[in-house]
Structure 1
């Protein structure tokens, strides 16, 4: 596949121009700051503002009260790396460079994931062209520092966190990445995977000197301190509540002990053991909520909150079931917390539970406090929207997302020319297409172990968000049309192949 060069694409953005709805203040140089907070494996039902009744999330709930709650917002992919690729580049999984989790294979310990290329254009690069200072703090997952995928080579002025997703499996890792280097944070790190079949499970046995999420938060706040007098783009892909479960003990102690009576988790579903997995999982989300509160407080301290758009969402749905059915992966209990609400599926699935995610946006003067929208939106939309907010004109009209600024300002919808598409290359290979009320889905595209692709499924999401009634046989014309759109839109990505017949875009 011939790639369009980054130089040509960046030239297409043209000179700095006022966005269509930019204010006079912005014209004078007071562009809004942009803060994008990305949780890790946070389910649709795990926030108070989305119906959660057991886990406390006061700061995010307050964000929703002061802003807009999205009822049908979708990630770009049902797992980490491809979701981040879609978010950063604005290309849907039908055209993204990364379509599944895959290591770079460069031979180092925690080397990082398969890198995006030098030609990839990220939203950080677009905003930097418009005069924004850019910083990323948290989990990257799009390429090690010695590759083209490094955040420092993809438009960020400052980076601190977990470059590699596997290093992020522990909250007490040996090191974190800082710009193009690493810093040792624990002399006695805790590996992210261990079982304890016998003996008393003690949380303190899986704690080291420095808690990585706190260090990441502290560095992000320093970024605000340093750049408070100029427009900035702050990308915060925080790691909670992705397992391992290693939350602060003072928060665990605030949740009922009876939740975990006779439920000691010994690591049998992967990741680390914990004596109180339900309380500790809830504490992870409450700790994430405290991070959001700290960021909001720092913005308020400098009077930046009135000229900052804050977007909070998740990279995919909650962690899926494991071999021991009493627990999800890592000891989580997503049924106990109703983590996915009424939805079907978990992380790794293109059913609603795997890709529909919470999203709240606060933007004073633009977004009406306490408002909600049911307009279906997803990650590629943020690339176009943030570019617009930052003053960039996207001369390249071949975008997968749409500008949802009108929705933020109260419009019921905006016109979407290209359906939302997921072309996912893990978990056997899955494709999903949503257009209007219809969502088509097909699994096992990779046809592993000689198993053919599953038949198409079709759901009317407006009346059946839980995807209980597959109506593919009753609407074959709809299925055929959605399949046609996917195949026409899809580019062949050599690094993430799907088997086709005689090179034609027709599945077996």
Structure 2
């Protein structure tokens, strides 16, 4: 199994139209991710939490943030300052405490796949994931590689350098990671010709010679070598690669940035486009390693029929996600709907598309079912969609997905809860805002941009039952999970759940 996990890649940041209803990017080129979509199944309603840590925590635990092993609602804090006002001078709600990472207890998704006999490798970003992972994870990889680098170069301190390897006075070329530092040497002719040239896509590789290595390439190098080692040993594996790309600060690879600059993009946009395509080329290298593990150009050792491959993003993009509204950090569709493609040669129908809503909590039970691991003793909020992947079903019995946020995330998010409800093939989404005790309702099939709040007009008679059902289901879920809501700052009393008639 290979789980490729992008950071902040938006719903329409890939050039394939399969996961976004035909709205693939006309600017960014992602031919390798596109090929993965052509060879597997794409999901047009693939959901996450609103930012990095809570999504990773839900994926690894199989639980919503309200779950007993989870408790991760946001990156860093539930009282993040509003950048416009430099704080919350009239903070109505005092947020509850949260965890920075899940409580593992030996029940994480990594333990589960190891129970099926898979060697486990975790290389990349650890936010929300238990760190260190403890014993029994195959390689001693905590996954804690960070894209912000600091060191001393030529006797001068370097701080907040993003992605590019440092030539540190003490460490030499480094990413500040003992796991990928051996790949930190600058680009040379051999690396360019043997590793990068096969994935060239109109980019001038000669621009790279002698320049510092990009961390995304370093993580790709590690991943490719891992696949080759495991295949040579005939040992099944689970490779989890949570990339840092395309998280800010945006730093593209020089040759790819130049490619988009030559097409007329301004410096900022060319940098981002170059980073998206660097992510794509690295995905291509990893996929090629599955197809040709020993790298001899022959596919006699192709592992595609034995390897489930997942490509996913941890939240919506920081850029435009049109027609979706919002970006990373919000509960509108632009913050939580992302590209998802899954391939398993001979098992999943190529070039297939599902509009079944799935969520990061669903990967745990799905992989468990596909690996024949009994997880009935574990408290999981997710539902397996394995039968969707195999084509045995087109729909899950589940009707609802939920989100809950009991705090503040700068100007983007305030205390609120959300329910997504399916009626046949139709999706309705309802918000509840605790500070104002108000509701909003949107019909996503007709209004993916969430522009027309159906509760601001006279609710059609046929929707009255739906509104009552969604309100009751959301409140029942909050009560069942004992979701924390914080306290009112005015008197210290608990913030109540929504009242429903």
- Give the TM-score normalised by the residue count of structure 1: 0.72
Give the 3-state SS of the residue equivalent to 1:56 in structure 2.
coil
Quote the offset at 1:279 in angstroms: 1.2
Contact persistence 2:8–2:317 (CA under 8 A): yes
Matched, 1:101 2:75: yes
Residue in structure 2 matched with residue 304 of structure 1 by the alignment = 303
Match of 2:394 in 1: 412
Q: 1:487 offset after TM fit, Å?
A: 1.4
**Could you say which residue in structure 2 is the equivalent of 1:381?**
362
Distance 1:454 1:127, change over 3 A: same
Q: Given the alignment of the two structures, is residue 430 of structure 1 paired with residue 421 of structure 2, yes or no?
A: no
Alignment partner of 1:83 out of 55, 61, 64: 55
TM-score between both structures, scaled by the size of structure 2: 0.73
Unaligned runs of at least 5 residues, structure 1: 1-33, 105-112, 188-203, 264-275, 320-333, 446-451
* C-alpha separation in 2, matches of 1:43 and 1:504: 33
Report the Cα distance in structure 2 between the residues aligned to 1:414 and 1:394, rounded to whole angstroms: 19
The root-mean-square deviation of aligned C-alpha atoms, in Å, is 3.1
**Mapping of 1:55-454 within 5 angstroms?**
55-75=28-48, 77-95=49-67, 96-102=70-76, 114-119=100-105, 121-142=107-128, 149-152=131-134, 155=137, 157-159=139-141, 162-163=144-145, 170-172=162-164, 175-178=175-178, 209-228=212-231, 229-257=234-262, 259-260=264-265, 263=266, 276-302=267-293, 303-319=302-318, 334=319, 339-396=320-377, 398-410=379-391, 411-416=393-398, 419-424=400-405, 425=407, 426=409, 427-436=413-422, 437-443=427-433, 445=434, 452-453=435-436
Structure 1's 409 and 44: CA in aligned 2 closer, same or farther, altered over 3 A? same
Distance 2:240 2:372 in 1: 18
* DSSP-derived class of the 2:16 partner: helix
Superposed displacement of residue 97, structure 1 = 2.1
Query: What secondary structure, in the 3-state scheme, does the structure 1 residue paired with 2:117 have?
Result: coil
The 8 Å contact of residues 94 and 489 in structure 1, kept in 2 or not, is answered as: no
> Aligned pairs, how many?
400
Contact 1:314 1:357 in 2 (8 A): yes
Q: CA deviation at 1:377?
A: 0.8
Does 1:49 pair with 2:21? no
Distance 1:398 1:407, change over 3 A: same
Shift of 1:173: 6.2
Aligned-partner SS, 2:255: helix
Contact 1:259 1:278 (C-alpha < 8 Å) held by counterparts? no
How far did 1:155 drift? 4.4
In structure 2, relative to structure 1, the CA distance for the partners of 1:120 and 1:480 (3 Å cut) is farther
Distance 1:407-1:442 versus aligned 2 partners, 3 A rule: same
Offset at 1:254?
Answer: 1.6
For the 8 Å contact 1:176–1:184, the answer to whether it is kept is no
CA contact (8 A) 2:36 2:343 kept: yes
SS in 1 for 2:246: coil
* Cα deviation, residue 211, structure 1: 2.1
For the 8 Å contact 1:89–1:120, the answer to whether it is kept is no
| In structure 1, distance between residues paired with 2:303 and 2:375 | 27
Distance 1:74 1:153, change over 3 A: farther
Question: 2:486: which partner in 1?
Answer: 498
SS in 1 for 2:279: helix
Aligned to 1:19: none
Q: Is the counterpart of residue 35 in structure 1 residue 5 in structure 2?
A: no
CA contact (8 A) 2:7 2:243 kept: yes
Aligned-residue offset at 1:472:
3.1
Determine helix, strand or coil for the equivalent of 2:487: coil
Distance 2:401 2:136 in 1: 25
Q: Return the alpha-carbon distance in structure 1 between the equivalents of residues 476 and 264 of structure 2.
A: 48
Q: Match of 1:126, SS?
A: helix
Q: Give how far 1:407 is off.
A: 0.6
Moved more, 82-91 or 46-55: 46-55
* Alpha-carbon offset, residue 406 of structure 1: 0.8
2:87 maps to which residue? none
Contact 1:171 1:211 in 2 (8 A): yes
Answer whether contact 2:54 2:75 (CA < 8 A) is retained: yes
For residues 55 and 235 of structure 1, the distance between their equivalents in structure 2, rounded to whole angstroms, comes to 25
Per-residue CA deviations over 1:402-432 (Å, capped at 9, x if unaligned) read: 1111111122112116x21112343323322
- 2:148–2:163: 8 Å Cα contact kept in structure 1? no
Q: 1:182, CA displacement in angstroms?
A: 8.9
CA distance change for structure 1 residues 235 and 343 in 2, over 3 Å: closer, same or farther? same
The residue aligned with 2:451 is: 468
- The alpha carbon displacement at 1:163 in A equals 4.4
- Distance in 2 separating the partners of 1:441 and 1:223: 44
Please give the alpha-carbon distance, in whole angstroms, between the structure 2 residues aligned to 1:407 and 1:235.
Answer: 22
1:226 Cα deviation from its structure 2 partner: 1.7
CA distance in 1, matches of 2:165, 2:481: 38
Which whole-Å CA distance do the structure 1 matches of 2:161 and 2:60 have between them? 22
